[in-house]
Chain A
Amino acid sequence: MTRVRVRFSKLGKIRFTSHRDVARIWERTLRKAKIEVAYSEGFSPRPKLSFGLALSNGHESFAEYLEIELAADDELTPEGAEKIKDQLNAALPVGLEVQAIAAASRKDESLQQAVRSCTWRFDIDDLDISGAQDWVDSVLGAEEIVVERERKGKVVVEDLRQQILFIQVVEATDHGVRLLAELGTQPRALRPTEFLAVSDPPLKARYVCRINQWMLQGDERVEPLSVNAGPAPFATLADVTRRELTNVRTNGRACSNGPHQPGVS
């Protein structure tokens, strides 16, 4: 059995589907695309798919991951990967799109364990650039940001500061301001809504989009699968924005039903 790793985007109206909905969509898509998948044994066999970190309902993403066990044992060639990508994209619903696909090893750590952090983009309402910069400075300048939350009936005290790896004010938007932030995922992922709630009252985000997921390869921060097959992760914020624009334009299909088009105004 060959294991492949798939990177896909989730943009537009379909962002309001749940993680579970997306899993079901993938099962139907693989059948539609006639890609033979390995099935689990047992009374009710399921296709062998494993999903990475969950994405909250309502958030968009350029960096969702999925691993598929193919029924065939053949090694995946670049042409074979490209063919599967095309078959999947022809069968996926509007808003979901495969960006990259590559062979994965079953010895690899699971994506949920391997990913250390995610870069998120927030379109915040009712906040201007200078107000945003003040807030960012105060968060980054804080020694600790302690919150209490209830977990299994017990009150747990957590310091969120160490999970906020960076924040940057990118630009003004029609409704407010755009931020980028990298949030840690270990031992527990800091959720975008928790990040927004660090502000009192919480910031109101019109759109939230996952831009990257990051894991460590030695000391180097890499993506589980980078787009354009380029080995190097994106070094600067400018790169992120440039790449994203290219993506949305080339992937125009993803937004053809009139949903929100991130990165394009």
Chain B
Amino acid sequence: MTSLWPQLEVLLDQVQKPARYIGCEDGAVTPKHRPDKAAWLLIYPDTYEVGLPNQGLQILYEILNERPDAVAERSYAPWTDMAGVLRNNRLPLFSVDTHRPAADFDVLAFNLSAELVYTNLLECLDLAGVPIRSADRRPEDPLVIVGGHCTYNPEPIADFIDAAVLGDGEEVVSEITEVVTGWKASGRTSREGVLRALAGIEGVYVPEAYTVSYDGQTISGVESRWPEAPEVVEKRTVADLADWPYPKNQLVPLTEVVHDRLNVEVFRGCTRGCRFCQAGMITRPVRERPADQVRTMITNGLQRTGYDEVALTSLSTADFSGIEEVVAATVNDADCGQVSVSLPSLRVDAFTVGIAAELQRARRTGLTFAPEAGSWRMRQVINKLISEDDLYSAVESAYSQGWRRMKLYFLTGLPTETDEDTLAIMEMARKCVEMGKTHQRSPSVTVSIGGFVPKPFTPFQWFGQNTEEELRRKIYLLRDDAKKSHNVQMKWHDSRATVVEGLMSRGDRRLGPVIEDVWRAGGVFQEWSEHFDISLWTEALERHGLSFEGYVYRHRTEDEIMPWDHLSAGLHKDFLWQEWRDALNEVGLEDCRWTPCYDCGACTGYGIEHVVASAVPPAGGSQGTGQPSNGGAVPVQLAGLKS
């Protein structure tokens, strides 16, 4: 099929930000399609600016294009103006690499990082001209496969997908490619045949292969219908990140995107054990990239791209063994020029003056800390065991090294949270401002509040989420308190979007028609406040006899079958349940990287283990114990640093 570019280019003056649709990024490829190759279209179902930087998608793009039997191109959800232009001109969704129609690909692979994009998945399929329901697809239609964190409970979208991949994608995409090329070679005959073959791949879940039965609100059983489909689908985990130095050619877009910088993943997985954090549970164990590989990826990446900023990414970058050395080497490397280093997701108990000093040698970027809860009691419940001292040491380090502004992330609506716990957030923020005043003329703190959504495969999966009204009440309580101090700004998430996220997070297959209704009513880009519309969701739920109460607000019992119980992230359910009990008893659990194994299942079940260069925790802070650190390197001395 030829490129749609000649038809598209004359229409681009009708849309905002046409650079979203042109491709041409440094690092993009123009793959040669051939009948014996599996053609993948990797789709991020949000805007180009949000989707382009996604590292998961870029990693798979490179790995697939390196294979002789596969090609991969990319697509992003067209903004509503472009979707209208495409429909008016009877043009389909297309790839940005060669502007090929989406339906010409063999696999449409969606990256699902957030639940609110589910209606965009339907929008992309519809624009592609592919039937939105798996059951309606014919042999000539592409296979629809999803990956990303949301696929640990893909049940709400079970009707729309052919398969979901659990866990790391680096290895499994090759196995899927082999099944797809085989299917093409056989003349793409039976759709059930290829789905059965996919169901036989470890880490691939084919919803059609399972029958779910219900008893009122809850599930009474899930049964595998095909011999190929295992009773429980296990996630995939790459054992050693050193084997996967991707992306090698990070895409450099021509237009501005979020995270517009070089990104180098320094480790995957986290064992800090924060009980609210799904990412920290499902990506275990910790797999560090060797420090010299990190250095090479930074140097080569900066020279190739021309970026002057590099982010060292992970779930908790300050925990990386030898982080200070890597940061120092980067800012001192003459070959890299004037570079700023940003460390997203910093844990305050591992943020030291050393790191602060190295970071500020280059251009100062924003500093964000995530204490997550305001009171020590609350942090014991969620197992984010950072003490007040940890936070204030980190804040002191930052202010003393010249930062004036910082951002603090918190959750509200956590299990057992009282108004006293909620208001402790603002006390903390005000105290940070006070500390800043000893170093800076007008320090400021931005407090960002998210409503807590319980996620599958976490100890809080049994918790009944706060109602929309309750979340809103807490947010307003904080807002009113924040108004009292002009150095504290507050931002928050819409509590209505939080409950819809909760609905998708722990929902089951009966939500399929709800998602479809919302999409048919025009509810796309639901994670964008200008498009989010709670009434679409409330009405659709009512129409299908379902409720927020049944899926979101009620507490679940120990014996209840969860919609995702036939999937596995390796974690033992009794480990999670014990953690839930401990949470309610305000009992913490230390990081297992540096303590004996608790047998959560993530390592033992798959015969893998942590890959961590340092046998001891990084220096400074209480390191997740709430106690002053006595392990690790020499604790940082703060005395005498006051300017």
CA distance A20 to B22 in the complex (A): 16
Contact check, A258 vs B10: say whether CB atoms are below 8 A apart.
Answer: no
Q: Which residue of A lies closest to B3 (CB)?
A: A258
Asked if A32 lies at the interface with its beta carbon under 8 angstroms from chain B, I say yes
Q: How many residues of A contact B (CB 8 A)?
A: 29
**Most A CB within 10 A of own CB, among B5, B19, B305, B308:** B19
B19 touches which one: A17, A27, A32, A45 (CB < 8 A)?
A: A17
Contact check, A32 vs B303: say whether CB atoms are below 8 A apart.
Answer: yes
Which of A91-99, A178-186, A209-217 forms part of the interface with chain B?
A: A91-99
B85 CB to closest chain A CB, in angstroms?
A: 14
A92 CB to closest chain B CB, in angstroms?
A: 10
CA distance A152 to B10 in the complex (A): 32
CA distance A206 to B13 in the complex (A): 10
A87 CB to closest chain B CB, in angstroms?
A: 12
B307 touches which one: A17, A28, A260 (CB < 8 A)?
A: A28
Asked if A44 lies at the interface with its beta carbon under 8 angstroms from chain B, I say yes
Contact check, B22 vs A31: say whether CB atoms are below 8 A apart.
Answer: no
Contact check, A31 vs B26: say whether CB atoms are below 8 A apart.
Answer: no
Given contacts A58-B12, A58-B18, A95-B24, A257 and B252 within 8 Å (CB-CB) = no
Contact check, B256 vs A24: say whether CB atoms are below 8 A apart.
Answer: yes
B9: chain A residues at CB < 8 Å are 13, 259-260
Given contacts A18-B19, A29-B306, A13 and B363 within 8 Å (CB-CB) = no
Asked if B304 lies at the interface with its beta carbon under 8 angstroms from chain A, I say yes
Contact check, B10 vs A16: say whether CB atoms are below 8 A apart.
Answer: no
Contact check, B304 vs A32: say whether CB atoms are below 8 A apart.
Answer: yes
B515 CB to closest chain A CB, in angstroms?
A: 33
CA distance A44 to B362 in the complex (A): 10
Contact check, B23 vs A28: say whether CB atoms are below 8 A apart.
Answer: no
A95: chain B residues at CB < 8 Å are 24
CB-defined interface of A9-20 with B at 8 Å, one 1/0 digit per residue?
000011011101
Asked if A57 lies at the interface with its beta carbon under 8 angstroms from chain B, I say yes
A57: chain B residues at CB < 8 Å are 18-19
Contact check, B305 vs A13: say whether CB atoms are below 8 A apart.
Answer: no
Asked if B254 lies at the interface with its beta carbon under 8 angstroms from chain A, I say yes
Asked if A21 lies at the interface with its beta carbon under 8 angstroms from chain B, I say yes
Asked if B337 lies at the interface with its beta carbon under 8 angstroms from chain A, I say yes
Contact check, A21 vs B19: say whether CB atoms are below 8 A apart.
Answer: yes
Asked if B30 lies at the interface with its beta carbon under 8 angstroms from chain A, I say yes
A257 touches which one: B19, B30, B256 (CB < 8 A)?
A: B30
Q: Contact size class for B?
A: 20 to 34
Asked if B614 lies at the interface with its beta carbon under 8 angstroms from chain A, I say no
B19: chain A residues at CB < 8 Å are 16-18, 21, 57
B337 touches which one: A14, A31, A93, A257 (CB < 8 A)?
A: A31
**Most A CB within 10 A of own CB, among B12, B22, B303, B307:** B22
**Most A CB within 10 A of own CB, among B13, B21, B307, B363:** B13
Given contacts A14-B24, A17-B19, A32 and B254 within 8 Å (CB-CB) = no
Q: Which of A103-137 contact B (CB under 8 A)?
A: none
CB-defined interface of B574-587 with A at 8 Å, one 1/0 digit per residue?
00000000000000
Contact check, A28 vs B30: say whether CB atoms are below 8 A apart.
Answer: no
Asked if A25 lies at the interface with its beta carbon under 8 angstroms from chain B, I say yes
CB-defined interface of B458-477 with A at 8 Å, one 1/0 digit per residue?
00000000000000000000
Q: Which of B380-398 contact A (CB under 8 A)?
A: none
Q: Which of A214-265 contact B (CB under 8 A)?
A: 257-260
Given contacts A13-B24, A257-B30, A258-B3, A21 and B254 within 8 Å (CB-CB) = yes
Contact check, B304 vs A16: say whether CB atoms are below 8 A apart.
Answer: no
A20: chain B residues at CB < 8 Å are 256
Total contacts A to B, CB within 8 angstroms? Answer: 64
Q: Which residue of A lies closest to B254 (CB)?
A: A17
Given contacts A17-B254, A57-B18, A93-B26, A32 and B13 within 8 Å (CB-CB) = no
Asked if B255 lies at the interface with its beta carbon under 8 angstroms from chain A, I say yes
Contact check, A18 vs B255: say whether CB atoms are below 8 A apart.
Answer: yes
Q: Which of B275-323 contact A (CB under 8 A)?
A: 303-308
B256 touches which one: A21, A94, A206, A259 (CB < 8 A)?
A: A21
A260: chain B residues at CB < 8 Å are 9
A206 touches which one: B10, B21, B24, B338 (CB < 8 A)?
A: B10
CA distance A57 to B20 in the complex (A): 12
B485 CB to closest chain A CB, in angstroms?
A: 25
A94: chain B residues at CB < 8 Å are 24
B438 CB to closest chain A CB, in angstroms?
A: 21
B26: chain A residues at CB < 8 Å are 93
CA distance A259 to B308 in the complex (A): 30
A16: chain B residues at CB < 8 Å are 12, 18-19, 21-22
Given contacts A24-B256, A95-B24, A257-B30, A32 and B5 within 8 Å (CB-CB) = no
Contact check, B18 vs A21: say whether CB atoms are below 8 A apart.
Answer: no
Contact check, A32 vs B255: say whether CB atoms are below 8 A apart.
Answer: no
B337: chain A residues at CB < 8 Å are 31
Q: Which residue of B lies closest to A13 (CB)?
A: B22
Q: Which of B238-259 contact A (CB under 8 A)?
A: 252, 254-256
B150 CB to closest chain A CB, in angstroms?
A: 31
Q: Which of B1-42 contact A (CB under 8 A)?
A: 3, 5, 9-10, 12-13, 18-19, 21-24, 26, 30
CB-defined interface of B319-352 with A at 8 Å, one 1/0 digit per residue?
0000000000000000001100000000000000
Contact check, B18 vs A28: say whether CB atoms are below 8 A apart.
Answer: no
Q: Which residue of B lies closest to A44 (CB)?
A: B363
CA distance A210 to B3 in the complex (A): 27
B304: chain A residues at CB < 8 Å are 32
**Most B CB within 10 A of own CB, among A16, A29, A32, A259:** A16
Q: Which 10 residue pairs across A and B have the least CB separation, nearest first? A: A28-B306, A32-B306, A16-B18, A31-B306, A13-B22, A17-B19, A21-B255, A17-B254, A16-B19, A16-B22
8 contacting pairs across A/B (C-beta < 8 A): A16-B21, A17-B19, A17-B255, A18-B19, A21-B256, A31-B306, A58-B18, A94-B24
Please name 8 further chain A to chain B contacts, defined as beta carbons within 8 Å, in addition to the given A32-B303, A257-B24, sorted by A numbering.
Answer: A17-B255, A32-B305, A32-B306, A45-B363, A93-B24, A258-B3, A259-B5, A259-B9
